[in-house]
Structure 1
Amino acid sequence: MKRVIQTLAALALGGAIIGASIVGFGLYNVSAGEGHFPGVRWLFHTTFQQSVRLRAPGPEERPDDITHPDRVALGALHFKSACAFCHALPGQSQSATARAMEPPPPHITDAIPGWEAPELFWIIKEGVKMTGMPHWPAPGRGDEIWSVVAYLTALPDAEAQIALTGEGRGRARCAQCHGEAGKSRNSYIPRLDLLTPGQIAEALRQYRGGQRASGIMQEAAAQLSDSQIAALAQKYGSPKAPQRQADPAPEAESSGARLAQHGSGDVPACTACHGPGRRADAPIAPLLAGQSQAYLEVQLKLWREGQRGGGERAKVMRKAAQDLNDDDIEALAAWFSGLAAE
C-alpha cells in the first residue's frame, strides 16, 4: 500500500512539473495558425457542451412570446449589427477574418442545431471563454437576449432574412428598428416620435456611456459622436410631447386607469409626471400614451428590479415601481398603450 501511495505521489509530482514547464517556458504553441494538438479540440468542445447543458435555465423560463414576429425581428436586426461579423447571415458566407479564428466560429446555420432555446440563452448571456464569444454586455437584460434566441430558433432562409433586415452586411439603420420618423410598429421597440429630442439625446448618451443598460442600444450608440446624437434626436424626436401630456385624461374605470391616475398607498400616480393631465413641476417625463404594451411592461419590470439606470430620474422611478406586482404592471401598460398616440 505504501508503494502504491509513493507511486501515485511521484506521478502527481511529475505531472505538476510537466504542467509548470509547459506554462512557465511557453512550450504550448498558442498560435491560431497552428491549431490544437490532436484531441484537444474535442476535449474543449465536449467541456463546452456539458458546461452549457449543466447551467442553462429550465424550459419554464422560456417566455411565452418567444415566437412573436416582433421579437424575432428585433433579434434579427441586432444579430445583423453585432453578431453576423463572425457567424454571417443565412445565405451569406463568413468573412476571411472570421474563418481564420481558432476555434473558428460556426456559420449561423450550423451553430443552432442541437441546442435548445434555454441553452442558446445561456450561451448568449454568458459567452464562452477562449472562443471570442463575448457575454451579453448588459446585465439584467434577459428580455433582449430572448429576442436574439427567438430569431435563432426561427432562423429564416436567405429570402426571409432580407425581408427582416434588408440586403447586404453591416449595422442595421435606426429606422429599421424604430420606424420611419420614429413611428415603430414593433411592439418591443419604443416609438421615438413620442419623445422629445432632449429625451432621445439623453438616452443615447447614457447608452453610449453605459449608464443605461441595453445590449442592443449600447451596441448601436457606442460609436456615435455628440453631433450625431444631436442630429438623430432632432430627426426622430417631437417637441410636442409636453403639450400632449397636459391634455386631460379620458374617463376610464379599469384598474390600470385608477392606478395610473390616482396611485395607491405605495405607488404614486403615474399621470402626475407622465400625463395625460400632467401636474408635476419636475422635468418633463417621457410621454407614455401610445407606446406599446409589451415595451411598457418590460420597462416597468426593469425599474422594479433595479435594472434600469440613467440619471436622477432613475431613483424616482425605481422607488415608484418597487411595489408594483405583475398584475399592476400589465394593467398600467395596457391602459397607457390604449391611449391615442396621435
Structure 2
Amino acid sequence: MIRKFPRPILLLIAVPAIAAAFIAGCGSDDSSSDSDQPDAGLTAVKSYLTEHTADLVAQTDTLKTAGNAYYDLAKANDFDYEKMLKNDGEAVNAALTDAKNAFIKANPAYEEMEGIVAGIPRTAQYDTDIDAGSDASDPESAVSFNLTLPNGEVMKQPGNLFFLIETALYGTNEDLTAEGVKPDVDGDGKVSFGEGLPEANAFKASVDEINKQAKDLDKDAQEIVITPSDAFTSITVMTPTMSEYFEQWKLSSFVAGEGSQQEEGFVATSRLSDIADILTGIDFTYAEIEPQIAEKNANQAEQTAAELGNLLSTAEYLRDLEAAGEKFTAKQADQLGAEMQAQAERIAGQVTQAAKDLDIEIQEG
C-alpha cells in the first residue's frame, strides 16, 4: 500500500532556514583565502574533485577485478553460462557480489562530483561517457567511445558506462545478459529482481573501460585549475536539471515498481540518492564562491546560499523517506520534480546574475 505524505508536499520545500544556512556556510572560511591566490584557482573545489576522482579510481579498480574474475570463469566454462553456474556457482556469486558492491560505492563517488565534471566544458565529456551519454541512436548526446570485446566484436557508441554495467549486473537489459539461462546467481532456486548474469565479453570490456576513464579523469583533475568561471558555470548548468532526474526516478523501479519500470537503469541506487549527491557537490562549490558574490551583494549571496541549502535538504529528506520505506506515486514524483525544478531555476538565475555583476564568464558547452 502506498502511504500518503506525512505532511503536504509543498511543505517539503520549506526546510528549516537554520539547516540551510549551516549547509551553505560550510567551507566559506577556507574559500575566502583562495580568492587572494587567483593563480591557484579555487583550491577547495579542486581538492573536493580530486578526492572524489581518487575514490572513483579505487572503486573501479575493484569493479574491474571482479568483472575480469567473472569473465575468466565464463571463459573457463567455454561461455556456457548454465555450465558455469553448475560448476562454479559460488565463485560466480562472489565475483558478481563484489562487482555490485563496488558499483554501489562508485556511484556516489561520481555523483557527488558530477556537478563539477559535467558543468565544466573541458571535463564534460567524461560525464557523457561515464554517466549520462546515450548510444549511437542519438548522435547529439552519444558517448565518444566504442567497446572492443575480448571476442573481437565491437560495440559502437553503446551508451554510458554506468548504464552498461548496472543493467548487466542487475539483469534489467537483456541485450547485455546471457541468453537462455535462468540467472539464479545466489543459488536459492529462484530468480529475484536484481539478479543478473552478464554477457561476459561485454561486461569485461565495460569494466575495463570505466576503470580507464576513471584514471584519465583523475589525471586531468590533478592538473586542472578550477577558476571562478568554472564554478559559476557548473552551478548554472547543473542546478536546473531536477525535472530530468525526477522523470528518471518516476520511471525507475523505485516508483513504478519492480518489474514494471520503464527505466532499465537506476536499480542499484535510487535516483533520489543521486539527486542529493549531485546537489551536495553543487552546494560545496557555491560555498567556495559565496564570499566573492557577497562582496558585491551580501543579501543576494545569503539568499542564494539559503535556497541552495534548502534544495539540498529537501533532496536529502526525500531520499531518507524513501530509504525508510516511503513509497511515492508517479503523480507525486511529477509534482516534486516541478517544484524542485522551479527552485533550481531561480538559483541558477541568481548565480547567472551574480556572474554578470562580477564580470565572470559563464562558459558555453
Shorter-chain TM-score tier: under 0.3
- Greater C-alpha Rg: 1
Task: Looking at secondary structure, tell me which structure has more helix per residue.
Answer: 2
State the structure with bigger RCO (CA 8 A, min sep 6), 1 or 2: 2
